[in-house]
Structure 1
Amino acid sequence: MREKLQRPVDLARQHGRSTQAIRNYEAAGILPETDRTPSGYRTYTPTHATALAAYLALVPGHGNQTATSIMRAINGYATADALALIDESHAQLLEDRRTLRAVETALRDLEPVPAERGDTFVGPLSRRLGIRPATLRKWEDAGLVQPRRDPRTSYRIYGAADVRDALLTHQLRRGGYLLEQISPVIAQVRSAGGVAPLESMLRDWRARLDARGRAMLTGAAALDAYLACRSAESSATRGDGTEGRTSSSRQTGRTSGSSVTAR
């Protein structure tokens, strides 16, 4: 029995998209190629609807670019490449979680430094951290610490906020993070006026990571449904011997596309 055919507008309405968006998805390789009627109209099947549902489910967890690449790979019969892209997204999410935990640990371990007792010089601070004075100067060049200069001697003077930033930088460096990765954290600490106000930011960060993880699960389920649909369609096509004709009709549609107005 033939699958129920749909017009672009039918597929668009199902997912709250415009008909032009549906055409764009097909042109981008997000949807598999469509057959056309003798008069040039596109016709979509439930497989196309499942593909669109999979793409839209993938976007929240993987982003538009990766979701598009995943769908292109699957529609190009490179499922292993699609799965590798999914693995990379999960690896990035895991790395983001590790970064969050490192920041939480670093902030938790910071000791309050009273403002009136916070001033210190390069030597005492470097000895406290167990690093060379040159390392502190490197951090200064990267904007991670901002000591003021004594107007008479030009010596660097590290205030309470500088000591806090140096301690946080030191702990994150011990966790394996690069200076360019640490810089945004230090900026957040400064803009928040200290460590305490960052608790809300960390909660939001954690919630976003959790939401992304859940979205990846939702996307995986939708993508699995699309893969199952494609597999069933492929088996049915081989069973009734129409695979060659389907391929030929789609090739004809691509070849004649320049002379047929897109509908």
Structure 2
Amino acid sequence: MNLHAIRAIYRFEMARTFRTLLQSIVSPVVSTALYFVVFGSAIGSRIPEVGGVSYGAFIVPGLVMLSLLTQSISNASFGIYFPRFAGTIYELLSAPVSPLEIVISYVGAAATKSVMVGLIILATAALFVPLKIMHPGFMLLFLLLTAVTFSLLGFIIGLWAEGFEKLQFIPTLVITPLTFLGGSFYSIDMLPPFWQRVTLVNPVVYLVSGFRWSFYGTSDVGVGVSLAMTLLFLLACLAVVRWIFKTGYKLKS
């Protein structure tokens, strides 16, 4: 394992974050504060509680998960796409760095940045509503697994995309709608039975549900099922990344 190479790429990616603090850190926090103003105050005044939890506190896990998914994909996709765009990826591929080390570096940096943003948003949320975390260990586990999984997805998107427009296609038109329809701002128990069954097809439901369980001990889906689905998605992303490096898809041209 070439730890020097991993550390060099990781530090380079992290340095880019600190050079763009306004975009990387401040923007997600401001967006979350606006969500609390709109959903927590305006709508929350009409919905006093959901599952025994105040509506303002109920939406916190969903807001953190929304930011975590979008930031993980954005950080990882741009991190690996820019070397392809600039042509420097061929220098990286010809260097004595294995595919595993490349993935660890880029995905690790993207996941680190996403977890940082998630924790900052969590701290910001505590300024608006009283929070309690019943299972902090599981909260951190879901946070890390989700960040790594969607950073891997972002890595795949960064290799697949042929332009900056495609980098935003899946996060904007697929991930964000799935997150909004995945129980981030409501419990799926509030839906009619037919739409409850339809919603269970949405993979984000399991992420949000498991994450919310770590806060309040209640969830729309069993925590074991949520954890299993997260791990399954992680393995699927790993399999795709392995196939990309094995075949040279989007790397040799």
**Highest Rg: 1 or 2?**
1
Do both share a fold (TM > 0.5)? no
Structure with the higher fraction of residues in helix conformation? 2
TM-score by length of 1: 0.28
Report the TM-score, using the length of structure 2 for normalisation. Answer: 0.29
